Amino acid sequence: MQPKTQEMHDRLYAMLREEQIYRYAASVLNFDQETICPPAAREKQGEIGAALGSKAFIVTKNPAFTEAVEYLYEHRDELDSFDAAMVAARHKQYLADKNITPEKEHAYALAFNKAFVSWLTAKEKADYSLFAPDLAAVRDIQIERTALREDKCDNVFDTLIGDYERGLTQAVLDPIFDRMKERLIPLLARILASKKQIRTDFMTRTVTDEQQRQIADYLLDVIGFDKSRGAITLTEHPFTHDMSRNDVRVTTHFYPQMFDSSMFSVVHEGGHALFEQFCPEENDAHFLHEKTMGMHESVSRFYENRIGRSKEFIHLIFPKCREVFPQVLSDVTEEELYEALNVVRPTLKRTQADEFTYTFHIIIRYEIEKMILDGTADIADLPRIWNDKYEEYLGIRPGNDAEGILQDIHWTFGFGYFPTYAIGNLYNAMYLNTMKQHLDVPALVREGKLPVIRDWMAEHVFRMADRQTPEEWIKAITGRALTPDDYLDYLEEKYTALYEL
């Protein structure tokens, strides 16, 4: 490394450490706000978090910071692969933020926090009108901020999608979702017409919070979550918060008559956590955190569905579940539990959707987001549009706003996230097929040897995620470009067998 490059490298690292302090503190407050913060303090705590975030943003607006980023980007051939990837990401962020002042960034953060607080109130009261003005403000911010960016795509939605999944656009997503609808809509009709009767009466039997805590801790142990570098608590809407590789926090929500809801939230969020806990140590040392949300959702949904809802996993956890939930499972067989956990039943809530119909929830949100951002839908009219789409795709209609348009937190901070859930399913279907060429995955799951699977994931899925584009990453793992076919073939095979079609 040339002396000038070393000088700029050292300067950038010093400023990144300062930025990290503010962001870490803001993250802790954000985690608290969404978990144990008293309702009356949420808005104030959000304001403090926004102020800390603004301090971090100010660091990146310092001319000395941007000079270092620009110089190192031009001389990235002198850097190691970690620093080169970090600088490339910082340069892209610089182009995105170049025309946004700290004052404007702070105003945006306050608006998002206000939207979060009003969403909570609106959901509690099942009244969308309480959230609509703030949702309109979020939309306007997204449009305004995109217009200021120097790295923007041809349209707002493609730019926002790309923030979560680099290189992904509507031109890529539209044919994928059309293909999925083409194959899944007829299959859903066949499933719903099947004469196969799946027993589910025990799924609503009452359980205690303490029982659910025991199962949550057990499941995190099973999948290989490192509790010395992670924690779990409760929230309204489950999420994972990674402060650093050594501080990864997962959350869940307990429902007394849906014991499976928390179970699969824990496995899902635990998947996110494993991705952070078992990525290379060098990532933290190089301030490198560039995994896309499609990559992340691929891992969380891999653990939730491909592992968690498999016959082998149910076989593994059945004795413990029966021990902890005797009032639920004492008269239930292992096969009955497997079938009940995989039953196809259109539901209004995305987070409670079965594996098969889940994709429709994402398509609905994707189509509505397009309408919001291209101006073909009025904010006030969104509940009707939402309800109509649920009726069209799933044959059900929300009875109120809380179980309809207000169910997700995501729109309080913007648009473009939802497609990553679906893309994640496509990724994990592809790399699981590759994994099966090297490991006897069903046997490992059945025998409780999930750390072996985790270690394969660490080497092949986690290791390069921060240093490759999604396109490079999935091709490096599987040798193939992104396709929905592996996932669709899996769904057809699994549910044809389950429903004896």
Catalytically active residues are 269
Closest CA to 237 of 468, 402, 114, 420: 402
Closest CA to 329 of 342, 345, 340, 343: 340
The pair of three-digit structure tokens given for residue 25, joined into one six-digit string: 């503190």
| Other residues' Cβ atoms within 10 Å of the Cβ of residue 388 | 12
Cα–chain-centroid distance for residue 89? 20
| Other residues' Cβ atoms within 10 Å of the Cβ of residue 41 | 12
Yes or no: say if 428 and 310 are a contact pair by the CB < 8 Å rule.
Answer: no
Q: Coil, strand, or helix at residue 243?
A: strand
Cα–chain-centroid distance for residue 415? 13
| Other residues' Cβ atoms within 10 Å of the Cβ of residue 408 | 17
246-250: Cβ within 8 A, 24+ apart: 246/284, 248/273, 248/276, 248/277, 249/31, 249/273, 250/220, 250/225
Sign of the dihedral defined by the CA atoms of residues 492, 498, 499, 501, in that order: positive
Q: From CA 248, how far away is CA 236, in angstroms rounded?
A: 18
Q: Coil, strand, or helix at residue 240?
A: strand
Yes or no: say if 281 and 245 are a contact pair by the CB < 8 Å rule.
Answer: yes
Q: From CA 418, how far away is CA 403, in angstroms rounded?
A: 18
Three-state secondary structure of 288-342:
CCCCCHHHHHHHHHHHHHHHCCCHHHHHHHHHHHHHHCHHHHCCCCHHHHHHHHC
Q: From CA 238, how far away is CA 268, in angstroms rounded?
A: 9
Give CA separation, 339 vs 69, 303, 482, in Å. 54, 18, 30
Q: From CA 86, how far away is CA 92, in angstroms rounded?
A: 10
- φ/ψ of 430, rounded to 5, equals -70, -50
- Residue found under tokens 């090297």: 438
The pair of three-digit structure tokens given for residue 386, joined into one six-digit string: 């939402």
Q: Helix crossing, 470-478 with 419-435: angle to 10°?
A: 20
Q: Coil, strand, or helix at residue 248?
A: strand
Q: Coil, strand, or helix at residue 250?
A: strand
| Other residues' Cβ atoms within 10 Å of the Cβ of residue 267 | 28
